[in-house]
């Protein structure tokens, strides 16, 4: 007996690569599935659930994201709600087997991306001094990928432009980032990726303070202390495995 019945005969490709289970790295697949699922309902055998799936956010022109509103839920394990449909049961069962630790936050809230920066006349002038401001720092770090989801930190609202302060005179930059959930285990890694990205992009005169937005994480004091300790950060960055993970977060994905 199939565990679920799909009224819509979404075939979608069966091609979720085995090694990407839980990693969501095959964006084209999702684009296809999400297109077909918009406004459609998912009927499960013993459950009756209607879920409105948001329009895809992975389009080139980012459209506004509709909030996900489950209308009626009867003890639905979270995994089923968020995994895409499979056209056969065995693939679905593979999804089921993923332990909760693989991703902390299976349903991250998504946010729109900011508009492109408006180019003013003074910025086009070759001779004018181009001060580094919050928007520029934001542009440097907005595209850092989240370690768990195929989304950037900006899209997850981990980084916001108004939480960045830049003081050009004192050469001080303060950044507050907000992990998506209060027990996010990736918070230190996200902080480290921000630090590395800025280290590689900004002039060395800047002192950068990176901290978790107060009140948004259970162990924010401990994590802030670690991120502020430059000796620990330098030693961590000499660890080749860790630097590989950080580099993965920092590379731009091709779409």
Residues at the contact surface with other proteins, assessed by CB under 8 A: 204-205, 207, 225, 228-232, 234-235, 238
What residues contact 237, with CB distance under 8 A and at least 6 apart?
192, 196, 243, 246
Which two structure tokens, joined as six digits, stand for 252? 């731009």
Measured on CA atoms in the order 27, 106, 49, 98, is the torsion positive or negative?
Answer: positive
Residue 68 CA to its chain's centroid (Å): 17
Nearer to other proteins, 45 or 167 (CB): 167
As measured in angstroms, the least distance from the Cβ of 236 to other proteins is 9
Residue 238 three-state SS: coil
Contact 98, 169 (CB under 8 A): no
| Residue whose CB is less far from other proteins, 189 or 237 | 237
Q: Which residues contact 44 (CB under 8 A, 6 or more apart)?
A: 3, 4, 5, 76, 80
Which of residues 181 and 228 has its CB atom nearest to other proteins in the complex? 228
CB of 238 to other proteins, least distance (A): 5
Considering the complex, what minimum distance in angstroms separates the CB of residue 225 from other proteins? 7
Q: Pick between residue 18 and residue 200 the one whose CB is nearest to other proteins.
A: 200
- Min dist CB 234 to other proteins, Å, is 7
Rounded Cα distance, 41 and 69, in Å: 12
Minimum distance of other proteins from residue 230's CB (angstroms): 7
Distance CA 16, CA 14 (A): 6
Nearer to other proteins, 149 or 195 (CB): 195
Least CB distance to other proteins at residue 144 (A): 23
Give 39 or 238: the residue with its C-beta nearer to other proteins.
238
Q: What is the C-alpha separation between 44 and 41, in angstroms, rounded?
A: 10
């Amino acid at each position: 007996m199939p565990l679920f019945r799909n009224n819509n005969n979404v075939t979608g490709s069966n091609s979720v690569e085995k090694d990407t289970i839980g990693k969501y790295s095959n964006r084209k697949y999702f684009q296809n599935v999400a297109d077909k699922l918009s406004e459609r309902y998912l009927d499960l055998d013993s459950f009756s659930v209607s879920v409105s799936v948001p329009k895809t956010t992975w389009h080139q022109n980012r459209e506004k994201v509709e909030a996900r509103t489950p209308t009626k839920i009867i003890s639905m394990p979270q995994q089923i709600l968020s995994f895409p449909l499979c056209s056969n049961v065995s693939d679905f069962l593979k999804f089921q087997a993923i332990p909760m630790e693989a991703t902390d936050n299976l349903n991250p809230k998504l946010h729109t991306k900011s508009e492109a920066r408006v180019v003013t006349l003074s910025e086009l002038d070759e001779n004018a001094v181009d001060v580094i401001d919050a928007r520029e720092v934001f542009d440097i770090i907005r595209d850092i990928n989240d370690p768990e989801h195929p989304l950037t930190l900006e899209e997850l609202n981990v980084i916001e432009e108004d939480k960045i302060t830049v003081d050009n005179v004192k050469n001080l930059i303060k950044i507050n980032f907000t992990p998506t959930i209060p027990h996010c285990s990736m918070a230190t890694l996200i902080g480290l990726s921000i630090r590395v990205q800025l280290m590689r992009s900004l002039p060395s005169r800047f002192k950068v303070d990176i901290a978790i937005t107060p009140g948004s994480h259970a162990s924010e004091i401990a994590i802030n202390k670690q991120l502020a300790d430059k000796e620990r950060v330098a030693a961590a960055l000499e660890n080749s495995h860790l630097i590989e993970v950080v580099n993965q977060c920092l590379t731009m994905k091709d779409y």
